[in-house]
Amino acid sequence: MDRIKVIGGNPLSGIIPISGAKNAALPLMIASLLTDDTLTLENVPHLADVEQLVRILGNHGVDITVNGRRERQGESYARTVHFTARNIVDTTAPYELVSKMRASFWVIGPLLARMGEARVSLPGGCAIGTRPVDLFLEGLAALGVEIEIDGGYVNAKAPKGIVGGRYVFPKVSVGATHVLMMAATLGKGVTEIENAAREPEVADLAKCLNAMGAKISGAGTSTITIEGVASLSGARHRVLPDRIETGTYAMAVAMTGGDVVLENTDINLLRSAMDALQSAGAQISETESGIRVVRNGSGIAPVDVTTDPFPGFPTDLQAQFMGLMTMAKGESRITETIFENRFMHVQELARLGARISLSGQTATVSGVDRLKGAQVMATDLRASVSLVIAGLAAEGETVVNRVYHLDRGFERLEEKLTNCGAQVERISG
């Protein structure tokens, strides 16, 4: 099993190209099930989760081809991928596939919309909480879907097709918003989704669906209206930049010091996180190609943050920000409101010398003057990269084990950091 070795102490300087967003690419790929024409997606990142979804879509009969590679520094960047679901050969998403990636459950929406039925395995638990699918099923039921749960599978049928309706989410759910929006595009009549997720990835999916012929308005606000259409066509769409990757590298610069341009990204995708970083002492500015992040030797100031749905501070940057706060000059508080069990990185950061105490969903971080490298274990995708960030500033050698988590969401992490002066190496086996 691969490991990442980090030798700390080097400031970062240079350019880091930001990849396409995993959290946008996955629902966009699933949207290909809605049409028998070809959906072409540009800027698709090469990640383990993307490759897993390729296998899942192939199981349903989607033909997938990759071209348009642009070579840079020996690696392929910004892949262009063509998805053609001319014939849906199977409306079942089996446990052995769904259990490996929760987002694969989202195929239930397009399958119901296009085929009138779907049999999808329940995804099961997750390292960062139970993350139930109740909101997905309640929302689909509001659109005329008949649902039965049997043997760990959701058996869903829409005998009259998807019927326009109104659903008010009791709490914000990005995944369920994706699913209801996709299902309603081929529905009869008008669907209104209230308290919808406002994340940029939701608006990006709506932009693509509209290019395919859907009639969606309000995406990016808390009320989304979908006027159903008889069919969708193919389209060409570019995946938006990964705001979580953007924030992660920005925090790495703030942790180590240095001067880095994050290329091909947009500060408007994560204003709250950038505001928190500026409060911590980083200098953030927009450039023609992206965002410049600079931190001089004045140190890191403590900042309190609370995770919230967009436009609030992203839960997917909570662990990384905690890594940064371990060396702040004072005490900070980080409150997690989205997922339970998302503080598993605390014990691993403590192995590096961090001082963190937990009380419910709030972590109090007392900054220390130095961290010291150690063996640590990645517990989930975002927690794993927080350990890399801490390792970049720690004295000596840090080895992060179980980095398959990293490969799910960060494209060429070692290469991007090494090109900016970090000492980061993957150890295979």
- Which two tokens mark 226? 């979908």
Q: Residue 5 annotated as binding? A: no
Q: Residue 172 annotated as binding? A: yes
Q: Residue 215 annotated as binding? A: no
Q: Residue 133 annotated as binding? A: yes
Q: Residue 171 annotated as binding? A: yes
Angle between helices 48-60 and 22-30 (to 10 degrees): 0
**What gap in Å lies between CA 164 and CA 185, rounded to an integer?**
9
Q: Residue 293 annotated as binding? A: no
Amino acid identity at 21: A
Q: Can 208 be counted among the known catalytic residues?
A: no
If 0-12 CB within 10 Å is exposed, 13-18 middle and 19+ buried, where does residue 268 land? exposed
**What gap in Å lies between CA 186 and CA 35, rounded to an integer?**
10
CB 107 within 8 A of CB 85: no
| Closest among 325, 408, 398 to 367, alpha carbons compared | 325
Q: Residue 292 annotated as binding? A: no
Q: Residue 229 annotated as binding? A: no
Active-site residue, from 66, 89, 126, 149:
126
| Closest among 139, 165, 164, 172 to 154, alpha carbons compared | 139
Q: How far apart are the first and last CA of the chain?
A: 5
Q: Residue 37 annotated as binding? A: no
Q: Residue 49 annotated as binding? A: no
**What gap in Å lies between CA 173 and CA 25, rounded to an integer?**
17
The length of the chain, given as a count of residues: 429
Q: Residue 76 annotated as binding? A: no
| Closest among 231, 226, 202, 179 to 35, alpha carbons compared | 231
Q: Residue 338 annotated as binding? A: yes
List residues forming the annotated binding site. Answer: 22-23, 102, 131-135, 171-174, 316, 338
List residues forming the annotated binding site for UDP-N-acetyl-alpha-D-glucosamine. Answer: 102, 131-135, 171-174, 316, 338
List residues forming the annotated binding site for phosphoenolpyruvate. Answer: 22-23
Query: What are the catalytic residues?
Result: 126
